[in-house]
Structure 1
Amino acid sequence: MAKKIVSSDLLITEVIKGIEDVKGENISIIDLREIENTVCEYFILCDGTSNTQVSAIAASVQKNVSKSLKDKPWHVEGESNAEWILIDYVNVVVHVFQKHVREFYKLEELWGDGKITNIENAY
């Protein structure tokens, strides 16, 4: 059975709500649509302060998207050590990091040709 493709805008909105529900920090959206041969349209990045919070953020994102949009990720990686959890919704890929891991990999610099939007935390 083919995976249903949900609107990227709706998905981004629900992912951000899921992140904010458990106080994920430093939320950024990288728009990759103008870059040739990218794996998806958007990256959403955020960080948490511990393995427990990173796991909670990832779970909150998945629960919120499932409840609101009836969509499940195509693939999830990194749940066992919870330093960097990747949630792949095909057009939108969510990266939930521990702060030090995000600073080490610097995805914003690696994908610097994309348009980066930083989301102000609502709390």
Structure 2
Amino acid sequence: MKETLATIHEILDSKKAIDVRIIDISRISNFTNYFIICSGANEKHIQTLADELQKKLGERGIETAHVEGYQNAEWVLLDYFDFIVHIFSIETREYYELERLWADGKVVDVRALP
């Protein structure tokens, strides 16, 4: 899983995602193990981040189970069962404060990933 998380971080970073955070919620959630949270600069950037993740992970045999919010691109959710990627507009991320809501999770140090 750590390799997958590192790959996700690399993909998002290569497309200039803003403030990428990975949170381990496996001990406090019964529906997924990790949240990957980031922001995009605008609607097109958010959609590009989602598209690139789906493409690159799909090439590795990791398919998206469910996508929400792609059309309006304020909050795009990509569900992969073991992890969920949340791609927000800056304003929507500030409004929902997902990191605060899941503060009992453990923030993953991306520098420690393979």
Aligned-pair identity (%): 33
Contact (CA 8 Å) 1:26, 1:119: kept in 2 or not? no
In structure 2, distance between residues paired with 1:25 and 1:49: 8
1:20-64 deviations in whole A, cap 9, x for unaligned? Answer: 1210010001101221x4310000000011000000011111111
The CA deviation at 1:118 is: 5.9
Match for 2:58: what amino acid?
Answer: S
In structure 2, distance between residues paired with 1:117 and 1:71: 21
Specify whether residues 23 and 54 from structure 1 end up closer, same or farther in structure 2 by C-alpha distance, changes over 3 A only: same
Match of 1:17 in 2: 10
In the TM superposition, 1:65-84 aligns within 5 A as 65-67=57-59, 69-84=60-75
* Aligned partner (choices 85, 88, 103) of residue 97 of structure 1: 88
Specify whether residues 109 and 92 from structure 1 end up closer, same or farther in structure 2 by C-alpha distance, changes over 3 A only: same
> 2:108 aligns to what SS in structure 1?
strand
The CA deviation at 1:70 is: 1.4
Structure 1 moving runs of 4+ over 3 Å: 117-120
> 1:20 aligns to what SS in structure 2?
helix
Query: Structure 1 length normalisation: TM-score?
Result: 0.84
Match of 1:5 in 2: none
Asked if 1:46 is matched to 2:25, the reply is no
Structure 2 unaligned regions, length at least 5: none
